[in-house]
């Protein structure tokens, strides 16, 4: 294992970090490590080191660099997006790099057919639902527009008969 950070070359507080879902590791300094995990805000100046390290031949380094570049690009750092566009990752390495995002996907809601639901989607109820407290039944076949995903992993919020209600995602299908 390297005793310097494989992204920036710093030798301060270097630890091996496993890159889920694999258990292969990359050696990272505290600064790079905390930015990769999201514990620290991105420091675009520090991460200019990726201009060099992203070209590493080592898959674990490529994955760590790729994930950090994605975060930077999402914050509007155009140089990071340019670098991502230039990089070539072997297909299985790219899959590994992207797998970090899929853990978030598991938190998203799925309809009766397993389709992922997102904010703003339109769905159709696949069964009659008693709306507790509102005193009506939302009928099967009712269309619910512009849903809002909740973070409880089970419900979304949507309007039926002009009333905002919480609906179990698996009792609906994407329109
Ligand atoms: Zn570092």
Which domains, ranges and CATH numbers included, belong to the chain?
A: 15-105 (no CATH), 109-174 (2.30.30.40)
What pLDDT, on the 0 to 100 scale, is given for residue 105?
47
pLDDT band, residue 153 (cuts 50/70/90): confident
Strands ordered across the beta sheet of 155-160: 148-149, 155-160, 163-168
Spatial distance between the Cα atoms of 32 and 79, rounded to a whole number of angstroms: 18
What value does the mean pLDDT of the chain take? 91
Region 131-155: mean pLDDT is 89
What pLDDT, on the 0 to 100 scale, is given for residue 132?
79
- The pTM (predicted TM-score) of the whole model is 0.60
pLDDT tens digit string along 97-115? 998 655 454 567 899 999 9
How far does residue 7's CA lie from ligand 1's centre (Å)? 5
How far does residue 90's CA lie from ligand 1's centre (Å)? 24
How far does residue 61's CA lie from ligand 1's centre (Å)? 11
What pLDDT, on the 0 to 100 scale, is given for residue 50?
98
How far does residue 28's CA lie from ligand 1's centre (Å)? 5
């Amino acid at each position: 294992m390297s005793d310097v950070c494989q992204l920036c070359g710093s030798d301060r507080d270097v630890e091996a970090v496993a890159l889920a879902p694999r258990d292969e590791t990359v050696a990272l300094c505290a600064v790079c490590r905390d930015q990769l995990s999201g514990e620290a805000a991105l420091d675009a100046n520090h991460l200019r080191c990726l201009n060099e390290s992203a070209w590493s031949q080592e898959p674990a380094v490529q994955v760590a660099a790729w994930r950090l570049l994605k975060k930077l690009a999402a914050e509007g750092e155009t140089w990071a997006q340019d670098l991502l566009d230039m990089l070539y990752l072997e297909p299985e390495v790219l899959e590994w790099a992207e797998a970090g995002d899929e853990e978030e996907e598991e938190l998203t809601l799925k309809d009766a057919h397993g389709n992922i639901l997102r904010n703003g989607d339109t769905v159709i109820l696949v069964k009659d639902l008693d709306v507790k407290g509102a005193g009506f039944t939302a009928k099967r076949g009712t269309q619910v527009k512009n849903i809002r995903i909740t973070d409880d992993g089970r419900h979304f919020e949507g309007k039926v008969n002009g009333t905002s209600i919480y609906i179990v995602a698996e009792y609906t299908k994407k329109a």
